[in-house]
Amino acid sequence: MLAPLSVLSSLGASSMASTDAGKVAVISASGESGEIATVDVNKGKMLPMDKLLALIGGESSWDSAAKTLNLTAHVQSVEFADETLKINCSFPAAYSVVYWASSKKLIVDIASSKLKSEAREVYIGSQGILRARLGNQTDCARIVLDLEKDIPYKVISDPVTSQIQIKVSESLPKPKVTITQQPKSGRIPFEITGIKIDARDGDNFDLVMATSAKGSASVAYGVSPPEIKVNLPGGTLENSQYVGSSPVLKDVIIDKSTPGKPTVTLQLKRIMVYSLNIENSQMVLSVRPPDRSGGKFSDKVIVIDPGHGGNQKGACCSGVMEKDVNVKIADELASALHAQGAKVILTRTSDVAMGLAARPEMALNCSADFFISIHCNSNGTLNSASGIETYYHKYEPSPMALAYAVHMGVCNSTGMCDRRPRSDSSLYGSGLAVLRRLENTGLPGILIECGYLNTASDRNKLLSSEYRKKLAAGIVEGLKSYVEGK
């Protein structure tokens, strides 16, 4: 593949004449330099793309259907200095910056880019900033800055650049916007004057609703089928039109049939996660694929954690100890996952006691994709409760999506009473210790209570391998739907 010398300027590079007439000296945006032999075509000088990209950094692929050469920049360095996140790319790229208030993450997606180095984390640990995490998404590189608290930020660099700079500093003015994950519903009247879908990189998109005043909204979330419904109490809608589209969007249903309670429902082609920002004149629902979704299921590493062990017996009813049942369920799940080609690691295989933090720590240390803690329930009152509950940590979007997907799979396959996916903050203010360690790590973890040991019918099921097989099949189905989308 040959390209004219003019390709250099679009790659942020420049050239100089070489002492060798058959070569040209190239200096890349990031300062790499070297000489490349040119090829004469119709008296014009052309550069071989492979040699050029080898010098400046990057990759190319030929899309024969579209007859276009796709260029992928390399993210060469990520650092935090002078209160500024600095990301250097081998050539200019477009990027988007989104702040997830619920989990205090600043997410930078760099279009048509890829991380080259093996490094996946840059420790910062100062000024309220914990770390930058680095990862490759389907067609962009993603840098996630984990914050300890809300800190204002400002994008300093140009929209397309090889040196992305985002200042993150308490000295910046506080944003006027109020960002809440679950806003309180109110009845302040407001008019929705426009609805549009803004596609961003890959499958990411924003639902932007222009409002006459600061509105209120709540979100209902579903995974089967995948949809996100925005309830707009107090809102009025002139018409039910919207503009824009996204490849991951099946349809947008705008319903104004109940006066004062319009809804906008995004019907999705795959499981997505969201964050909602309500500003004075607009509401923005940012939608993206969940963490660790995409790719092949067989490439995923899943840590299964049979709860309790050793002297920590868990619930004990009629001589049945939870710690033993958990291991049996975990074994069943491990073989069901192996059958799908996934890699499985168990936190314990024998009857040993283990600390709560050590379990998720193991998942982080072995770079797992998912953490699933297996438990059985008991409320201490004979035969008083039945069914399955699935817990996620606080309101972290990806663990919530995983809990919904797995819970749906398990309830479908076992036919057990659906006691809903729940946030672990419904149990304790700071959530479950076994899930807390995974907070802000990008590794989705959940805890499943597979039935009530104090209820005879549930206990008999938990003791049967047939029920445990159904449980395992349901968890696998949920995990697969999270990874593969539907």
Dihedral sign of CA atoms 44, 50, 51, 54 in order = positive
Residue 460: CB minimum distance to Zn ion, A: 19
CB of 327 to Zn ion, least distance (A): 12
> Please, which residue, 307 or 444, has the CB nearer to Zn ion?
307
Which residue type occupies 339? A
Q: Is 184 exposed, middle or buried (0-12, 13-18, 19+ CB in 10 A)?
A: exposed
What's the distance, CA 410 to chain centroid? 22
The one among 235, 307, 431, 451 contacting Zn ion by CB under 5 A: 307
Give the count of residues interacting with Zn ion (CB under 5 A): 3
Give the residue with the Cβ less far from Zn ion, 11 or 372: 372
Cα–Cα distance between 325 and 322 in angstroms, integer?
Answer: 5
Nearer to Zn ion, 306 or 397 (CB): 306
Complex with Zn ion: residue 375 or 407, whichever CB lies closer: 375
Residues belonging to the active site: 449
**Closest approach of Cβ 291 to Zn ion, in Å?**
25
- Asked if residues 231 and 308 have their Cβ atoms less than 8 Å apart, the reply is no
Residues 289, 203 contacting (CB under 8 angstroms): yes
- 333 touches 471 (CB < 8 A): yes
Write down the least CB distance from residue 375 to Zn ion, Å. Answer: 4
Rounded least distance, CB 323 to Zn ion, Å: 8
Closest distance of CB 434 from Zn ion, Å: 9
Residue 198, φ and ψ in degrees, nearest 5: -105, 105
**Rounded Cα distance, 166 and 316, in Å:** 54
Rule CB under 5 A: choose which of 12, 262, 309, 314 binds Zn ion.
Answer: 314
Interface residue with Zn ion among 375, 419, 461, 468 (CB under 5 A) is 375
- Work out how close the CB of 463 gets to Zn ion at its nearest, in angstroms, rounded to a whole number: 16
Specify which residues 27 forms β-bridges with: 14, 33
Q: Which amino acid is at 359?
A: R
Phi and psi angles of residue 243, each rounded to the nearest 5 degrees, phi first = -120, 160
| Distance separating alpha carbons of residues 129 and 249, to the nearest angstrom | 34
Rank residues 325 and 362 by Cβ distance to Zn ion and give the closer one.
325
Judged by beta carbon, residue 333 or residue 401, the one nearer Zn ion is 333
Q: Which residue is nearest to Zn ion (CB)?
A: 375
Give the end-to-end CA distance of the chain in Å, rounded to a whole number. Answer: 38
Task: Give the residue among 306, 292, 409, 421 at the shortest CA–CA distance from 359.
Answer: 306
Separation of alpha carbons 284 and 276, rounded Å: 6
Check binding of 323 to Zn ion (CB under 5 A): no
Start-end of H helices in 24-178: 49-56
Strands 190-199 and 226-231: unpaired
For residues 411 and 436, give the distance between their C-alpha atoms in angstroms, rounded to a whole number: 25
Pick the closest to residue 56 from 38, 40, 87, 35 (CA basis): 35
Distance of CA 84 to the CA centre of its chain: 24
Residue with tokens 């309790």: 308
Stretch that binds Zn ion, among 9-17, 159-167, 302-310, 385-393 (CB under 5 A): 302-310
User: Smaller CB distance to Zn ion: residue 116 or 328?
Assistant: 328
**CB of 326 vs Zn ion, minimal distance in Å:** 7
- Cβ proximity to Zn ion, 140 vs 432, nearer residue: 432
The contact set with Zn ion (CB under 5 A) reads 307, 314, 375
